[in-house]
Amino acid sequence: MLIQYEKGSSLLHRYDPLSKLVILFCTAVIAMLLDQAWQQAVFLLLCIGQARYAGHMSGRQLLGGIRLIAIVAVPYFILTSLTVQGETVWLQWGSVSVTIEALNAAGAMTLRMFTLFLTSMAYIITTDPRELVAELTRRLRVPYRFAFGISAALTFIPLLEEEGNHILAAQQVRGHRPPKGLGSRISYGLKFVSAVLLNALRRVQQTAGAMESKGFGAYPDRTYRTEVNMPSWAAVSAVIYVLATVWLWWIV
């Protein structure tokens, strides 16, 4: 599965979940502040390098994430390039014109999608959901029901991915051929998404029933078996990242 927590000893694995969460939030803010395509491209390369060398993510995982978000990002880039108005015409084809300003806006937004998705994927792969829940409830005093909801969401992502693979395998066993043509692809995609969502709702109902039968939420507090240590260097790096984000916000 592409998106799920994997144990490791990389630098990102040694970060505590809260420090990484602060850095992830600052990364999202920086991605929103940069409005030039070349700036977004440089920032995306930095994030990919961080995920590859600091998180030990494989090239297969990175390419899989890029391919997954490209399904949405590439059509958005094409649509934005054709609809955004500008003054400097780069390409003219009949009544359709593509301007430099439109390409810059479309490229910046598209690359921003890649950055946000890949950094979130790196956070999920290098963060133990149990540690995240423990830190949210102990350090931030978040109600454990809400914290468990976040943990459940991170857990459901690989389950949904597995459900999708099972659906594709079942269709291949039944002899279903790959769709051809735009209409067939759209119809196939809608049916596939509907099947995954129905299985997701079934799993949510099963989880809710199990939590209710075990009395989850009956008491104001609960005990934890997971002990999370916050390294001093991780907290310092998170503070530096926040200061850098504020400084960038100020100059931009």
pLDDT in tens, 8-21: 889 999 999 899 99
pLDDT at 2 over 60: no
Answer yes or no: is pLDDT of 1 > 60.
no
| Selection from 65, 66, 81, 70 nearest residue 161 by Cα | 65
Burial class (CB in 10 A: 0-12, 13-18, 19+), 62: middle
Put simply, whether the predicted model's pTM sits higher than 0.95 gets the answer no
Task: Give me the pLDDT at residue 215, please.
Answer: 66
pLDDT of res. 211: 67
Cβ atoms < 10 Å from Cβ of 209: 10
Which one has a higher pLDDT value, 206 or 50? 50
- Residue 91: what pLDDT? 73
Q: What is the pLDDT of residue 53?
A: 93
Q: Which of 131, 95, 87 is nearest to 228 (CA)?
A: 131
DSSP state of 53: I
Beta bridge partners of 93: 96
Query: 119 versus 226: which is more confidently predicted?
Result: 119
Cα angle 44, 45, 49 (rounded to 5 degrees) comes to 115
Encode pLDDT of 181-238 as tens digits. Answer: 667 667 767 777 777 777 777 777 777 777 667 666 666 666 666 677 788 899 999 9
Q: Which residues pair with 113 in a beta bridge?
A: none
Q: How far apart are CA 248 and CA 244, in angstroms?
A: 6
Q: CB–CB of 34/108 below 8 Å?
A: yes
* pLDDT band at 114; cut points 50, 70, 90: very high
Provide φ and ψ at 221, rounded to 5°: -130, 165
Average pLDDT value for the chain: 81
Predicted confidence (pLDDT) at residue 249 exceeds the cutoff of 70: yes
List C-alpha distances in Å: 53 to 22, 28, 245: 20, 20, 22
Q: What confidence tier does 82 reach under pLDDT thresholds 50, 70, 90?
A: confident
pLDDT tier, 5 (very low <50, low <70, confident <90, very high otherwise): confident
- Classify the C-alpha dihedral 51-53-54-59 as positive or negative: positive
